[in-house]
Structure 1
Amino acid sequence: MDIRGKERRRLVQEEVRAVVEEMRTCKAVGMKQQGAWTRWENAVERKVTWADLWKAESHRIQFLIQAVYDVLPSPSNLHTWDKAESSACPLCSKRGTLEHILSSCARALGEGRYRWRHDQVLKTIAEAVSAGVEWAKRSRPSKQTIAFVRAGEQPTPAKRTSAGILTSARAWQLLVDLEGQLKFPNHIAATTLRPDIVLVSESTKQVQVVLEMTVPWEDSLEEDFERKLSKYAGLVSNCQQAGWRARCLPVQVGCRGFVARSSVRAFRILGIEGERKRRAIRSTTDVAERASRWLWLKRGEPWSHK
């Protein structure tokens, strides 16, 4: 086959794929439950390659696919499928949908199930931020140089690079709300709030209420983001009034392992880019998915995460 023939074949294949994908998406949009993923506008697309499929355990892939399309045998689905007499959650009397089991059961919340998953994801993000701090110490932005241009020539636009917050100071103090309860530095602002991660630089008077981390149902990512911003707006304002540069960066990782755009933005603002960012995102998605699968498996059993 000549080159033109190969190119024609490739174009035909791409066109067929595009038509099939459009038909699949249109059908999914019309399905309220199984097509809910089409409305996750604030979730980053998660690509699962053939290499990922070969490496992953079969039960993980099965859980991920069934969770995304909401076809796991939850009490609600079993009742709909005439496989169970009741649709009640095994822990409480409310309707046992997948959303309820993974993110909104009051008893599961009271028993610390969601807190355990939250802390698993928080540890991973804290490790990424800590690694970012160490990297920033070794990669301080160099002083700006003057580029000379010959007469009559146009200067070449300089590439814009975002160094990120972490390179703006050397001595960052990283505080994480794990095990011992985190207390916000009282000399900066008095508050009863407990952010998940706080970065403080005394020398440059910066306090970053960096990661107020949540693991919500993917349909609620935008609502959760706005709620967290509002919750910490007063604290950020108080820090700024006291002469500190401060900001809040809500970070969300969906309970089925889909990172919100807010997480990508937070890493970028911090200066965690390239492979370091991709590695951090992969780690957080995997941890969130594994933890949710464990909550699913233990949905009707006494809780013990040890």
Structure 2
Amino acid sequence: MAGMSKQGAWTRWEQVDPSRITWAELWKAESLWIKFLVQFIYDVLPSPANLHTWGLADTPECKLCQKRGTLEHILSSCSKALGEGRYRWRHDWVLKVLADSICTAIQHSKTQAAPKQTITFIRAGQKEQHQRPWPTAGLLSTARDWQLQVDLGRQLKFPGNITATSLRPDMVLTSESTKQVVILELTVSWEDRIEEAHERKRAKYVELSSECWNNGWKVRCEPVEVGCRGFAGHSLLRTLKLLGVRGLLLRKATRNILEATERASRWLWIRRGDPWSDRPLGHKPGTDHPRLGRPGEGV
């Protein structure tokens, strides 16, 4: 499997967590969805490039831009799909689910008891060791006034009381009482390029993070990546745990985010050659396409 360039590509996803499907989920799932999921993951869906390779199509061209229509191209690299806002629609849909999960965690943290304060004793002659800036219980446990801003509809403006910038992260978490700010940036990427996306987004906010520190704010910049086929990048779980999302909340948040990603990508696949202009404003995956009610049908 590892030696197969297409079906074995998943063996080289070093920054991606395994996808776990329980027997109970398989038992309840429709066979068409299982078939689609397997073809989706192993890149053997009937894309124009695959059909051409199999001798079932005269050309491997993408229906939108006439470049080679691989699954990767259709889901993450087509310039026309990008210009039409297809990828932005998927990104915003996943962002909304991620934001909902963080809002739930914020509300949950407010019902929990405040972490106990500890006293550190120092031997005579020793210097005080700097405390870890971020608690093991999670950032959300350090304040009761966390506010979350989300760039849905391109409306977010970075808080001017922290610093002035033209950058617009996907999410900004702020606590005025403790002067903390968390910058979250979501990328829905082709699984092979998750590490590249992470480094690019981290570099993008280096200067902004430095300005926040200089203005007296403790800042964390956390790029978050999700594979467009519904696989979680290591950064997703790491960031949720950093915030203090754990246990049942973590499992539920991760499942909802990955399901939203897979459904949105599946919808983009089904509509890969259809006009995008007739998409209703505020469309949600599965609400206006009859085939999405039965996953995998029409593949």
TM-score by length of 2: 0.85
Determine whether 1:178 maps to 2:155.
Answer: no
Aligned equivalent of 1:219: 192
Gaps of 5+ in 1: 1-27, 147-160
The SS at the match of 1:29 is coil
Return structure 1 stretches of 4+ with deviation > 4 angstroms.
Answer: none
Determine whether 1:51 maps to 2:24.
Answer: yes
Encode CA deviations 1:115-165: one digit per residue, 9 max, x unaligned: 11111111110011001111111113342589xxxxxxxxxxxxxx92100
Gaps of 5+ in 2: 120-134, 281-299
- Distance in 1 separating the partners of 2:68 and 2:236: 31
- Distance in 2 separating the partners of 1:140 and 1:234: 36
Amino acid at match of 2:174: V
Aligned equivalent of 2:126: none
Q: What's the % identity of the aligned pairs?
A: 58
What is the 5 A alignment of 1:245-260?
A: 245-260=218-233
Aligned equivalent of 2:132: none
Whether the 8 Å CA contact 2:115–2:141 is kept in 1: the answer is no
Encode CA deviations 1:232-275: one digit per residue, 9 max, x unaligned: 11111110111101111111110000000000000010000111
The SS at the match of 1:175 is strand
Determine whether 1:267 maps to 2:240.
Answer: yes
Match of 2:161 among 162, 165, 187: 187
- Distance in 1 separating the partners of 2:118 and 2:166: 46
Whether the 8 Å CA contact 2:90–2:265 is kept in 1: the answer is yes
Task: Provide closer, same or farther for how the CA distance between residues 141 and 121 of structure 1 changes in structure 2, counting only shifts above 3 A.
Answer: same
Whether the 8 Å CA contact 1:199–1:207 is kept in 2: the answer is yes
Aligned equivalent of 2:259: 286
Amino acid at match of 2:36: F
- Distance in 2 separating the partners of 1:82 and 1:145: 69
Whether the 8 Å CA contact 2:186–2:225 is kept in 1: the answer is yes
- Quote the offset at 1:293 in angstroms: 0.4
Aligned equivalent of 2:39: 66
Whether the 8 Å CA contact 1:200–1:206 is kept in 2: the answer is yes
Task: Provide closer, same or farther for how the CA distance between residues 142 and 232 of structure 1 changes in structure 2, counting only shifts above 3 A.
Answer: closer
Max Rg structure:
1
Q: Which has the higher helix share?
A: 1
- Distance in 2 separating the partners of 1:227 and 1:236: 15
Equivalent residues, number: 264
Determine whether 1:200 maps to 2:159.
Answer: no
Aligned equivalent of 1:139: 112
What is the 5 A alignment of 1:1-306?
A: 28-144=1-117, 162-209=136-183, 211-303=184-276, 304-306=278-280
- Distance in 1 separating the partners of 2:154 and 2:71: 32
Aligned equivalent of 1:16: none
TM-score by length of 1: 0.84
The answer to which structure, 1 or 2, has the higher relative contact order (CA under 8 A, 6+ apart) is 2
